[in-house]
Amino acid sequence: MKLPNFEQSLSALVELSSISSTNACWDQTNKPVIDLLANWFDYLGFSVDISLVPDSRNKYNILAKLGSGEGGLLLAGHSDTVPYDESGWLSDPFSIKQKDGRFYGLGTCDMKGFFACIMQVCRNLSVTDLTKPLYVLVTADEETSMAGARFFSKSQTIRPDVAVIGEPTELTPVIMHKGHMSHRITVLGKSGHSSQPAGGVNAIEIMHHIISKLLKLKRQLALNYSNQAFDVQEPTLNFGAIRGGDSPNRVCGHCELDIDLRALPGMKDEELLYWLSESSKDIANQYVGRIKFDEIDPSAPSFEQNKDSDVVLFTEKLSGHNCCAVNYATEAPFIQKLSGQTIVFGPGSISQAHQPNEFLAEDQISKTLNILTQMIQRYCITINDKT
From the list 27, 110, 141, 142, the catalytic residue is 142
- Sheet containing strand 236-244, edge to edge, reads 236-244, 254-262, 180-188, 291-300
Contacts for 320 with CB less than 8 Å, ≥ 6 apart: none
Distance CA 353, CA 360 (A): 10
Amino acid at 346: G
3-state secondary structure of 115: helix
Among the listed residues 80, 141, 143, 170, the single catalytic one is: 80
Report the 10 Å Cβ neighbour count for 182. 19
Assess whether 80 carries a catalytic annotation: yes
Q: How far is CA 20 from the centre of its chain?
A: 11
Tell me: cis bond preceding 111? Omega within 30 of 0 counts: yes
User: What sign for the dihedral angle of Cα 183, 188, 191, 194?
Assistant: negative
CB 335 within 8 A of CB 166: no
User: Which residue stretches of the chain are H helix?
Assistant: 6-15, 31-43, 113-122, 147-155, 203-224, 269-279, 281-286, 310-319, 332-335, 363-376
Q: Is 142 tagged catalytic?
A: yes
Question: 343 and 312 in contact (C-beta within 8 Å)?
Answer: yes
The SS3 of residue 51 is strand
Q: How far apart are CA 335 and CA 345, in angstroms?
A: 13
Tell me which residues are annotated as active site: 80, 142
